[in-house]
């Protein structure tokens, strides 16, 4: 059944067009299976001079690997210097890594697709961009790379929390003021209700006294009996 849009003529796909569409689909599926190198969501680190740091990197491949080549490279003033490299024969094979830079140790575990490295006693010269690169012959030589930036400092910066402290104090003060106002309001309403109740009692008492003095009904004054008719 041929689907057509209203008002638009949909031509039939001939063999060349059909082959082109199928090729595009296959290429899309193939690209989704391509090798990927990943250094994490946070691709930078600030570390103190003399400390030891780990540069993370893992690889992913949906169809698996075969003789995967990987390397770490350091960008030294625009020139890429090799830090270490190796070939991983298969998913369950541990690589024999060659290290070309001092104080560098491979700490990856291939069963976890981990090819991270460790740098001992870092110096200011170690600061810069490190590239984790991989190429998988099983994917027709597909390759990918990711960059991790290392910043070496004398000491870690202390975060200034002055503004946050001021905001917290202001919010706390506003809440305390509001609570105090509500308590004062409730106390004032309580006092006014008591005063109003007392005024009502005074009015009732005063009305009873006036009626008694004037000899009105309900008073205790003696009343003369009505004379009987003979």
pLDDT, tens digit, for every residue of 101-145?
999 999 998 888 999 999 999 999 999 999 999 999 999 889 999
Q: Are 75 and 45 in contact (CB under 8 A)?
A: no
Which pLDDT score is estimated for 219?
46
Per the CB < 8 A criterion, the answer to whether 149 and 47 are in contact is no
In tens, the pLDDT along 148-161 reads 999 999 987 765 56
pLDDT given for residue 9 in this prediction: 47
Ranges under pLDDT 70 in the chain: 1-33, 158-165, 201-230
- For residue 214, what pLDDT is reported? 53
pLDDT at 31: 46
- 66 CB-near residues (< 8 Å, 6+ apart): 89, 90, 136, 137, 138
Give domain 34-153's CATH architecture.
Sandwich (2.60)
């Amino acid at each position: 059944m041929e689907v057509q849009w209203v008002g638009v003529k949909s031509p039939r796909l001939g063999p060349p067009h059909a082959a082109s569409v199928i090729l595009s689909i296959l290429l899309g599926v193939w690209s989704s299976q391509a090798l990927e190198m990943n250094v994490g969501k946070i691709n930078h680190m600030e570390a103190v001079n003399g400390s030891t740091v780990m540069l993370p990197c893992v690889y992913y491949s949906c169809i698996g690997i075969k003789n995967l080549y990987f390397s770490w490279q350091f960008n030294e003033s625009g020139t890429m210097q090799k830090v270490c490299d190796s070939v991983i024969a298969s998913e369950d094979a541990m690589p024999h890594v060659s290290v070309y830079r001092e104080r560098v140790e491979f700490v990856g575990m291939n069963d976890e697709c981990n090819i991270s490295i460790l740098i001992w006693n870092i110096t200011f010269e170690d600061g810069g961009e490190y590239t984790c690169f991989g190429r998988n012959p099983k994917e027709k030589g597909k390759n990918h790379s990711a960059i991790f930036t290392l910043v070496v400092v004398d000491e870690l910066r202390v975060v200034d929390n002055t503004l946050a402290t001021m905001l917290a104090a202001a919010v706390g003060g506003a809440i305390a003021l509001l609570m105090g106002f509500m308590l004062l309001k409730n106390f004032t309403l309580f006092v006014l209700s008591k005063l109003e109740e007392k005024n009502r009692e005074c009015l009732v008492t005063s009305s009873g006294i006036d009626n008694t003095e004037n000899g009105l009904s309900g008073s205790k004054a003696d009343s003369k009996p009505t004379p009987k008719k003979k």
